[in-house]
Structure 1
Amino acid sequence: MPIEKPTVAAMAELAAAAGLGIDDADIVTYQAVADGLLESWNRVEELYADLAPSVPERTWVRPAEGHNELGAWYVQTDLAEAAEGPLAGRTVVIKDNVSVAGVPMMNGSLTVDGYIPAEDATVVRRLLAAGATIAGKSTCEDLCFSGGSHTSKPGPVRNPWDRERSAGGSSSGSAALVAGREVDLALGGDQGGSVRIPAAFCGIVGHKPTFGLVPYTGAFPIEQSIDHLGPMARTVEDVATMLDVIVGVDGLDPRQPDATAPADYVQALTESASGLRLGVVTEGFQLANADPAVNEAVRAAIAQLVSAGLEAEEVSIPWHAYGPAIWDVISVEGATWQMVDGNAYGMNWKGYYDPDLIAHYGRRWREDPSRFSETVKLVMMAGRHALDNEFGRHYAMARGLESRLAAAYDTALENYDVLVMPTLPITASKLPAADAELADTLGRALEMLANTAPFDVTGHPACSVPAGLADGLPVGLMVIGRKYDDATVLRVAHALENAVGGFPLPAAERRNA
């Protein structure tokens, strides 16, 4: 569709709104030149039509009434393309911020509802080529900006361990379906902990890879510098198998360096973890809302690793306590500029853009911004205030502090093979009631981020692995490694899994196993 050309009156209005001080006579000239200039927009649209993908026909269904008890399914499919491969015979659910061609994508939000992608995300193509069967799309939180599982517009996702409690967000449905044994594997996304938070709340393994190790191409962005995709499963070996499939440069994602050297992550698990050194980060246990029972469960898990031949030593990293503030500035100002003002993709970087999604979402949210979730509204207002009054000055400061934060972890990792701490300071909290006070809705969405969010800023690999139970609910231990040393992180996670003889399932799922 050709771009609408501005009239002289429209140009005068634009000039006045921007305070450009252009007189009426010159407005006529500006309009005439702009009219000719905008023909390039039409030419680009004509050229793009020759390469624009078309939406394929793929079968999908809404979950049948009574068959979505956890609220974790968005849509269900049965997509398979290869009979052989490392994931042959395995079912995978895809977080609904990731494109599966021909299948609806809502990203948990009414502002995206109705969009059907024309292309598979890179990771989806790789999963299908590896023999996986894509069983559907999992419910995720509204634009993925919540650590709780109550902001998704399809409705809350319930924890298989206690259906009155949060499954964690924003990869809420992915974790619930894996923990509930409805699928073998899941893909999640992580900008502030959104793979690791639901993994910890639901008692499964969730790995946030090193930044750039896995291409983000075809997933709905929040802030380019903190976007990650990662695997989720009930065992470390399954996570490693899935990671082997989805890693590697695709040439379309500027988050990725020109070359990476992915390891053989499954093979790495065959190497003994005995003798590896763990730095037990003191500050990770000192959060204001830390549940003593959670800290106790994590320290008991560390003791089991020591019994298995690993070495552990307390280490203080004061900068860890500053990480959440740095993340706050980057995520809030960055998401306001990219995810909201920039219609998800923003501009000024070389890589894959989805013009149809940009247009659909950009139009939808402007039609009725009230449809945003409470957390996104908070981000919009706080971010807009900061950008309008300080012009990105604090974002620039936070980017400068990022190197100090990363260096603090790197310095500790010179002495230790990995760092460990609780993934979250709490176990799964109660889902807010439908008529909950706003403070409760926001609080339940943001209360658990302090240990996870810093590693989205620095890009270190971080894996949440079940550490045991506290008051009958799962607790996660987070293992953090050197950049691109995801293999050692998974070796330590696997050592704990072996030491405890496997991770527990929710009671109902144990009965059905």
Structure 2
Amino acid sequence: MQTVHKLLNRRLAVSFKAYGACGFSTTVNYAQEAKNEIPSVRPPNIDELYDISEKFGLNIPYEELSTYKDCMKGMLESFDRVDKFPEINPPVKYPRTGAYRPSAEENDHNAWYVKCDIKGAKGGPLEGKTIAVKDNIAVAGLPMMNGARMLEGYVPEYDATVVNRVLDAGGRILGKSACEYLCMSGNSHTCASGPILNPHNRDRSAGGSSGGSAVLVSLKEVDMAIGGDQGGSIRLPSCWSGCIGLKPTFGLVPYTGAFPIAKYVDHLGPMASTVEEVALLLEVLAGSDGMDCRQPSEISKVKYTKELKKGFADLKVGIMKEGFEECEEDVEEIVKSAAFNLKNMGLNVSEVSVPLHKSGGDIWSSVGVPGVYHQLLHNAGITTGSFGHQPTTMHDYVAKRMKTNGGDLSPTVKLFWLFGEHMKRNYELHHFCKGSNIVPHLKKAYNDALSKYDILITPTIKYKAPLLPTQSASTEHVIKESLGMIANTTPFNITWHPALSINVGFSENLPIGMQIIGRHFEEATVLRAALAVEQMIKN
């Protein structure tokens, strides 16, 4: 792995030398260098152009297609010249020891994908802390399967921004945590390396898609973990595995170097056993990196650990009625009891109604499913809607495997593909447009409630962790068990509010999670409320 590190840095050094300090070449003449090289972009033949014309009803006479082909020459040359530029990726700063797949004895809950040992800088706020990184996040030199058998063999050549920030802060990365197949499940049974087992009951789901991260934290195999969340994938496993997980405000934590699903729902965030550790890791991860199109150009740095010292007695808490509808009785009782008991900690607690919350899952589906279909499945994770770092080698690898290994996809991913194609063929983006138009109203509904309350509370999931599907389970059962738990979490992936899950009790020895929702970029308030819950539970 030392050799891998040197080769990666040499490649990056060549790239940056060619580009110059400001990121654009002033010395390398790629057009001249490429004169004697075979073009990387193949021109179309006339029959291909005819097929395209027929498919889209362009009605171009066959004899005119040669004219169109000739007019493409300049564009083809531009594409070819751009392809000659060296790849620019986030840097690789720290050496790493050899990664390996742990044995069953070393991985008895199947929560690790690979293990390693990457030590960060000496000193820093994370010195002495061990971290697991979800396997949808690039760590240079380590395999990245993203829970999907079809991606086995892909090895990133760069470190994601969040990985660099952890290492710069003195953290120690012990490996990649297992996750659901392309992160497309809220359960923990679709991971290609096998189901991830609940740390409190091995027959039950650990939650997903960041199940490995949650289990490793809950088992104390690591101090902290990084998870990803597009519909609840940090909060869901935090709930069922019994740790704390925060989906930050959209864009607060850079997504650069993580495998995307749809850019407008993609989030990365911290997971840990204590509120203070979540706050500490968020301090390290948060802030613009200049490469992620999801982020504002300027993000104020906040000392979240310092903010915790302000206490919580001034906070107003709204228990959102709609979040408790159709709950299991014990889940409702435990979460409501914990919420009302916050009065004993000095918080002001009362119920609030946000009727549109009941439609939040439907709205997420109308915009999320087309996003998954277009960006993840058809564009191999790439969005063309904005500029920023694009993982070229990952895209190339995924795009090829999508074409050749579609049969390896999990039933949940196949469902999204079939349904997405059906809707595209028959309705184009009609429902995406309708849903997109409703999102601001949903956001306003929460904001109106948050103008009267500092935080809102719901159960994270309305029922306890279910039994994992068996190997003989029907396709219908596998799919339903992947998606049935997301009603309270998905709305905040499209309204972009910060939301945290924290354990507030147990029923049948299974954790029950409370979800705490806050105003945009007011993670400090969410964490203060979580601290009140944590101290109340301990007392």
TM over 0.5: yes
- 2:323–2:459 CA contact under 8 A, matched in 1: yes
What do residues 403-456 of structure 1 show as CA deviations (whole Å, max 9, x unaligned)? 110111111111111111111101111100011011211111111100011011
Q: 4+ runs of 1 displaced by more than 6 Å?
A: 52-57
For 2:75 and 2:51, the matched residues in 1 are separated by: 19
Equivalent residues in 2 for 1:28-67 (5 A)?
28-48=66-86, 51=88, 58=96, 59-67=98-106
Secondary structure of the structure 2 residue equivalent to 1:386: helix
For 1:321 and 1:24, the matched residues in 2 are separated by: 54
What do residues 153-173 of structure 1 show as CA deviations (whole Å, max 9, x unaligned)? 111100110011111000010
Equivalent residues in 2 for 1:352-431 (5 A)?
352-431=389-468
Deviates more, 1:36-45 or 1:66-75: 36-45
- Which residue in the other structure is 2:315 paired with? 276
For 1:475 and 1:100, the matched residues in 2 are separated by: 32
Equivalent residues in 2 for 1:80-99 (5 A)?
80-99=119-138
Q: Which of 44, 50, 61 is 1:23 aligned to?
A: 61
Q: Which of 372, 379, 386 is 1:335 aligned to?
A: 372
Equivalent residues in 2 for 1:283-294 (5 A)?
283-287=322-326, 290-294=327-331
What do residues 356-407 of structure 1 show as CA deviations (whole Å, max 9, x unaligned)? 1111100101112111111111111112222222221111111111111011
TM-score, normalisation: structure 2: 0.90
Equivalent residues in 2 for 1:216-227 (5 A)?
216-227=255-266
- 2:91–2:159 CA contact under 8 A, matched in 1: no
Matched AA of 1:32: D
- Which residue in the other structure is 1:507 paired with? none
- Which residue in the other structure is 2:164 paired with? 125
Matched AA of 2:317: L
Equivalent residues in 2 for 1:51-450 (5 A)?
51=88, 58=96, 59-287=98-326, 290-450=327-487
Provide closer, same or farther for how the CA distance between residues 52 and 482 of structure 1 changes in structure 2, counting only shifts above 3 A: closer
For 1:328 and 1:53, the matched residues in 2 are separated by: 33
Deviates more, 1:252-261 or 1:130-139: 252-261
Secondary structure of the structure 2 residue equivalent to 1:165: coil
Deviates more, 1:261-270 or 1:32-41: 32-41
TM-score, normalisation: structure 1: 0.94
What do residues 160-195 of structure 1 show as CA deviations (whole Å, max 9, x unaligned)? 100111110000100011111111100000010000
For 1:53 and 1:416, the matched residues in 2 are separated by: 40
Secondary structure of the structure 2 residue equivalent to 1:158: coil
Gaps in structure 1 of 5+ consecutive residues = 503-513
For 1:208 and 1:142, the matched residues in 2 are separated by: 20
For 1:276 and 1:37, the matched residues in 2 are separated by: 59
Matched AA of 2:519: R
- Which residue in the other structure is 1:506 paired with? none
Deviation of the 1:55 alpha carbon: 8.5
Matched AA of 1:153: A
How many pairs does the alignment contain?
Answer: 499
For 2:138 and 2:388, the matched residues in 1 are separated by: 16
Deviation of the 1:263 alpha carbon: 2.0
Deviates more, 1:224-233 or 1:62-71: 62-71
Deviation of the 1:121 alpha carbon: 0.8
Provide closer, same or farther for how the CA distance between residues 161 and 368 of structure 1 changes in structure 2, counting only shifts above 3 A: same
Deviation of the 1:46 alpha carbon: 1.0
1:3 aligns with 2:41: yes
Matched AA of 2:58: L
Provide closer, same or farther for how the CA distance between residues 284 and 89 of structure 1 changes in structure 2, counting only shifts above 3 A: same
- 1:55–1:102 CA contact under 8 A, matched in 2: no
Secondary structure of the structure 1 residue equivalent to 2:512: strand
What do residues 446-498 of structure 1 show as CA deviations (whole Å, max 9, x unaligned)? 11100011011101111101110112110001111111111010001111111
- Which residue in the other structure is 1:505 paired with? none
Matched AA of 1:401: I
- 2:204–2:466 CA contact under 8 A, matched in 1: yes
Deviates more, 1:92-101 or 1:377-386: 377-386
- Which residue in the other structure is 1:466 paired with? 503
- 2:160–2:258 CA contact under 8 A, matched in 1: yes
- 1:6–1:35 CA contact under 8 A, matched in 2: no
Deviation of the 1:39 alpha carbon: 2.1
Deviates more, 1:377-386 or 1:193-202: 377-386
Secondary structure of the structure 2 residue equivalent to 1:166: coil
- 1:298–1:422 CA contact under 8 A, matched in 2: yes
Deviation of the 1:35 alpha carbon: 4.4
For 1:36 and 1:256, the matched residues in 2 are separated by: 34
- 2:504–2:537 CA contact under 8 A, matched in 1: no
Q: Which of 512, 516, 520 is 1:475 aligned to?
A: 512
Matched AA of 1:283: E
Secondary structure of the structure 2 residue equivalent to 1:345: coil
For 2:86 and 2:444, the matched residues in 1 are separated by: 44
What do residues 171-228 of structure 1 show as CA deviations (whole Å, max 9, x unaligned)? 0100011111111100000010000000000010000111111111111111111110
For 1:47 and 1:476, the matched residues in 2 are separated by: 49
- 1:262–1:484 CA contact under 8 A, matched in 2: no
Matched AA of 1:257: P
- Which residue in the other structure is 2:21 paired with? none
What do residues 244-267 of structure 1 show as CA deviations (whole Å, max 9, x unaligned)? 000001111121112222421101
- 1:240–1:266 CA contact under 8 A, matched in 2: yes
Gaps in structure 2 of 5+ consecutive residues = 1-38
Deviates more, 1:55-64 or 1:335-344: 55-64
Matched AA of 1:173: G
Secondary structure of the structure 1 residue equivalent to 2:269: strand
Deviates more, 1:168-177 or 1:333-342: 333-342
Secondary structure of the structure 1 residue equivalent to 2:390: coil
- 1:55–1:116 CA contact under 8 A, matched in 2: no
Secondary structure of the structure 2 residue equivalent to 1:47: coil
Secondary structure of the structure 1 residue equivalent to 2:85: helix
- 1:54–1:118 CA contact under 8 A, matched in 2: no
Matched AA of 1:416: Y
- 1:210–1:486 CA contact under 8 A, matched in 2: yes
Deviates more, 1:51-60 or 1:254-263: 51-60
Secondary structure of the structure 1 residue equivalent to 2:68: helix
Secondary structure of the structure 2 residue equivalent to 1:127: helix
